[in-house]
Amino acid sequence: MRGERLAAAIETCTAEVFTLPPGLWSPSIDQGDMSGGIGLLMLDGLMVRQVGVAGRYGAELLGTGDLLRPWQLEDSGRTLPRTGRWRALQPCRMAILDRDFAMRTAAYPEVFACLFSRALRRAALIAVQMAIVHQPRIDVRLHMLFWELADRWGWVRSDGVHVPLNLTHAMLADLVAARRPTVTKALGELAQAGIVTWTGSEWLLQGEPPVELQAVGPVSVGRG
């Protein structure tokens, strides 16, 4: 969109915004009329979604631009019982794309195309994460995961790539499908080798991405 059409879309396609403090989040559908709405669009912040089956958890990180529908009853009728939880790791701002927003945006299919692209991007990132957890060695999984996170959240500086995500060992274990003690040991080995180091406020990646990432796709991080 350009010119007058872009200006009209900016004025029309507005949405209510709410904020979340860090901590556990129990989503509800009381934010607007979501019966015919699109969902929630993350504007700022970082969130982790964990899904558990038989006491084991998988996880995905959600950030700016991700589209979600946390109240959707996607587990209805499933054979395997599962649990789930959401946790804001940083203060989050979310736009409520409710039924009213969808109706006002109907004249601008470009907006829907963009939102649909965001949903597909999230699915693609989950597929990449599945490929990573199939690596047999935990240190390789972690090394690959950090470079994948760097592709979205990292910044290149003179001493390496900085990834400003405060992720606990337990959370990393969920992200790479491993036990926390195993992850702690592997992180120690990566730090000793000068490959991945926790600086106290962010992760520092040095050297080149692992060769296994060549089968996943290119790595591109911003410069700051």
pLDDT in tens, 98-140: 989 999 998 899 999 999 999 898 888 888 888 899 999 999 9
Express each pLDDT in 29-58 by its tens digit.
554 456 678 999 999 999 999 887 767 778
Per-residue b or e along 90-117, where b marks 16 or more CB atoms closer than 10 Å to that residue's CB: eebebbbbbeebbeebeebeebeeebee
Q: Is the pTM of this model over 0.85?
A: no
**Is 216 in contact with 132 (CB distance < 8 Å)?**
yes
**Secondary structure element (H or E) that encloses residue 109, with its range:** helix 109-133
**Is 40 in contact with 69 (CB distance < 8 Å)?**
yes
Joined together, the tokens standing for residue 202 give: 């962010």
Contacts of 80 (CB under 8 A, 6+ apart): 53, 54
d(CA 39, CA 221): 28
Express each pLDDT in 141-173 by its tens digit.
999 999 999 999 999 999 999 999 999 999 999
Structural domains in the chain, sorted by start: 3-132 (2.60.120.10), 137-223 (1.10.10.10)
208 three-state secondary structure = coil
Q: Say what the alpha-carbon torsion angle 133, 180, 148, 126 is, to the nearest 10 degrees.
A: 50
